[in-house]
A and B are shown apart, each in its own frame.
Chain A
Amino acid sequence: MAATEAEADIHLDGVSKRFGDMTAVDDLTMSIPRGSFYAMLGPSGCGKTTTLRMIGGFEDPTAGKVYLGGSDVTQHPPYRRDVNTVFQSYALFPHLSVEKNVAFGLERKKVGKAEALKRAGEALELVQLSHVGKRKPAQLSGGQQQRVALARALVNRPRALLLDEPLGALDLRLRKQLQIELKRIQQDVGITFVHVTHDQEEAMSMADTIAVMNKGQIEQAGSATDLYERPRTAFVANFLGISNLIEAKVTGDQRVTTHDGAQLHAPECAGLTGDVRIGVRPEKITLLPDGEPVPDGYNALRGKVVVAAFLGVSIQYVIQAAGGEELNVFAQNTDGSEPEGLAVGREVQLVWRPEHTFVVERG
Chain B
Amino acid sequence: MSAVTEVTPPAPAEETAPPSGGSARTRDRLRHGGLALWSVLALLYLFIPVFIVVLFSFNDNQGRFNFTWQGFTFRHWADPFADPDLAKALTNSVEIALISTAIATALGTFMAMALVRYRFRGRSTVDFFVFMPLSSPEVVLGAALLAMFLTLNINTGFVTVVIAHVMFTVSYVVVTVKARLEGMDRHIEEAAMDLGATEWTTFRKVTLPMIAPGVAAAAMLAAAISFDDYVITSFNAGQTQTFPLFIFGATRQGVPAEVNVLATMLLLGVLLLMAGNVLIQKSLARRDTMRAD
Residues on A lying within 8 angstroms of B by beta carbon are 56-58, 77-79, 83-85, 87-89, 91-95, 104-105, 108-109, 136-139, 141, 152-153, 156
Q: Identify which of A89, A109, A139 contacts B187 (C-beta below 8 A).
A: A89
A148 nearest CB across to chain B (Å): 11
Q: Identify which of A95, A105, A138 contacts B196 (C-beta below 8 A).
A: A105
Known: A108-B201, A138-B290, A139-B290. A91 touches B195 (CB 8 A): no
A137 to B291, CA, bound (A): 8
Known: A91-B187, A93-B206. A84 touches B197 (CB 8 A): no
- The answer to whether A108 and B195 have CB atoms under 8 Å apart is yes
Task: List A contacts of B252 (CB < 8 A).
Answer: none
A283 to B224, CA, bound (A): 74
- The answer to whether B287 and A93 have CB atoms under 8 Å apart is no
Closest residue of chain A to B292 (Cβ to Cβ) is A138
Task: List B contacts of A138 (CB < 8 A).
Answer: 287, 290-291
- The answer to whether B193 and A79 have CB atoms under 8 Å apart is yes
Task: List B contacts of A139 (CB < 8 A).
Answer: 290
The A-contacting residues of B in range 261-293, CB under 8 angstroms, are 287, 290-291, 293
A85 to B194, CA, bound (A): 7
- The answer to whether B194 and A93 have CB atoms under 8 Å apart is no
Task: List A contacts of B195 (CB < 8 A).
Answer: 79, 84, 104-105, 108, 152-153, 156
Task: List B contacts of A136 (CB < 8 A).
Answer: 287
Task: List A contacts of B290 (CB < 8 A).
Answer: 138-139
Where chain B touches its partner, the secondary structure class is helix
The tally of residues in B whose CB lies under 8 Å from a CB in A reads 22
- The answer to whether B209 and A108 have CB atoms under 8 Å apart is no
Given contacts A57-B194, A78-B190, 17 further A-B contacts (CB under 8 A): A79-B194, A79-B197, A79-B198, A85-B191, A89-B185, A91-B188, A91-B190, A93-B191, A93-B192, A93-B210, A95-B209, A95-B210, A104-B197, A108-B195, A108-B196, A138-B290, A152-B191
A108 to B293, CA, bound (A): 31
Known: A104-B192, A156-B195. A87 touches B287 (CB 8 A): no
- The answer to whether A58 and B206 have CB atoms under 8 Å apart is no
Task: List B contacts of A85 (CB < 8 A).
Answer: 190-191, 194
Q: Identify which of B190, B210, B293 contacts A94 (C-beta below 8 A).
A: B210
The 6 closest A-B pairs by CB, nearest first: A108-B196, A105-B195, A91-B187, A91-B191, A138-B290, A78-B193
- The answer to whether A58 and B291 have CB atoms under 8 Å apart is no
Using an 8 Å CB-CB cutoff, how does the interface string of B192-235 with A read, 1 for contact, 0 for none?
11111111010001100110000000000000000000000000
